[in-house]
A and B are shown apart, each in its own frame.
Chain A
């Protein structure tokens, strides 16, 4: 009798326990299954836009999307009250960036600084992933060509070849949860330099960061270190730029402070003449607007 009672109790307890545990155990089971089948997935949104300030980020434009970029710099802050501290002057770059695929972007631009045309090809080679077997960094390749067309009457010999420069950059980026970093080794090739002392091939190392303040605002900064003894006939300084970034829907708006007037990598990395310490600071803004030209259905994110 006692054994029977004991058995019955055990059975009842077992059933009751199962009944109570049911809801959470089903979910637990799904969670376990999810963990077992977890795959590494790409990290998105390392940076908000394709431009950090002057430097490009590892981001590319989505396939079929067109980005319109307006980069504007007023004159130098130290140019005096007569020039309203630089506001009387302006340098502008207008750019279009188109995503051929999600990884390949082509861009063109024209800036008023030396009336320069530029074009680039950018390819997202590797993507940072998270989860099981995660890959720690994103690697993006960027090749830029620039050609300045401003007439210089004292130098009539300047032909298209002499006016052309190239910048090849490898953009290494990593996203932490609230901030992102990038490191960009750069090789610049300038077809014509002022003297034989100057180098046609120049090397630089740039570093950039984005710190998220809120979900839609962040502070961006970049420093472009040009290795010494490459530009000797003129005095150049390393380019340091800071931006306050606000995102609203398809727009990214940045308030910029930089000691570089140009916004093209062949120029701002190797031709920045002003220094922050002297007040040679250009205030300005970057505005990017995203347009979707095709309603393409994207493939799976996790592949």
Chain B
């Protein structure tokens, strides 16, 4: 009987310990840029959701495509209506793990490699990217940038405007996750 209680306690302890390793944000920033001689396109979304489990070294990421703000309204409309089909595929998500030593109790900047699957426009692809995770008190700050080729995700761009959009878009992610109690 004593052993059962001990075991149950151990189990609760194990679960609660890994739970406190959870970091989360609802105000992550995702940007992407396309630079061509004809037109520059910049879009920003400051309402990205991200979670890092420092115990399991896993992380997840979700963003609403309609939350991307473009400097030109027409670009934004085309992005949602013609390219990403945001009514049909409202979210872009990423789940993955990172490799590299990150000591969650100790402040410092750690270089890691993130590997996982990115899902958007109904297509899921495995991607890998270098990133930095910075432990700062009760927070983990993450930063990464990686390329995305629209055609990889079945986003069709008419030949008439293809030259106005970079073949491979540069996506940057900046998250500021706080420890969840």
Contacts and interface: CB of A to CB of B under 8 A. Distances in A.
Interface of A: 3-4, 7, 10-11, 14-15, 18-19, 22-24, 26-27, 29-31, 33-34, 37, 41, 44-45, 62-63, 65, 102, 177, 215-216, 248-250, 290, 292, 295-298, 300-302
Contact of B64 (A3, A19, A34, A45): A34
8 contacts: A22-B53, A23-B116, A29-B24, A30-B50, A30-B61, A65-B72, A290-B74, A302-B47
Nearest to A215: B82
Interface in B39-96: 47, 49-51, 53, 56, 58-62, 64, 66-67, 69-74, 76-78, 80-82, 85, 87, 91, 93, 95-96
Contacts of A295: 71
B160 A301 contact: no
A22 B73 contact: no
A15 B49 CA distance: 26
Contact of B26 (A19, A33, A249): A33
Contacts of A10: 7, 11
B58 A298 contact: no
B80 A44 contact: yes
A65 B73 contact: yes
B77 A302 contact: no
A117 B59 CA distance: 61
Contact of A7 (B7, B82, B85, B164): B7
Range class of the B interface residue count: 35 or more
Interface string B138-168: 0000000000000000000010110010000
Nearest to B39: A249
B18 interface: yes
Given A15-B14, A18-B18, A27-B95, A177 B87 contact: yes
Of the candidates B15, B59, B72, B82, the one having the most CB atoms from chain A within 10 angstroms of its own CB is B72
A27 B72 contact: no
A249 to B, nearest CB: 5
Q: Which 5 A-B pairs have the closest CB atoms?
A: A62-B73, A7-B7, A26-B60, A27-B60, A30-B49
B51 A11 contact: no
A177 B86 CA distance: 11
B81 A45 contact: yes
Nearest to A18: B18
A41 B47 CA distance: 13
Given A26-B59, A65-B73, A297-B71, A41 B10 contact: no
Nearest to A299: B69
A82 B77 CA distance: 45
Contacts of B53: 22, 26
B7 A292 contact: no
B181 interface: no
Of the candidates A14, A18, A102, the one having the most CB atoms from chain B within 10 angstroms of its own CB is A18
Contacts of A62: 72-74
Contacts of A248: 158, 160-161
A236 to B, nearest CB: 37
A8 to B, nearest CB: 8
Contacts of B59: 26
Contact of A18 (B15, B69, B70, B80): B15
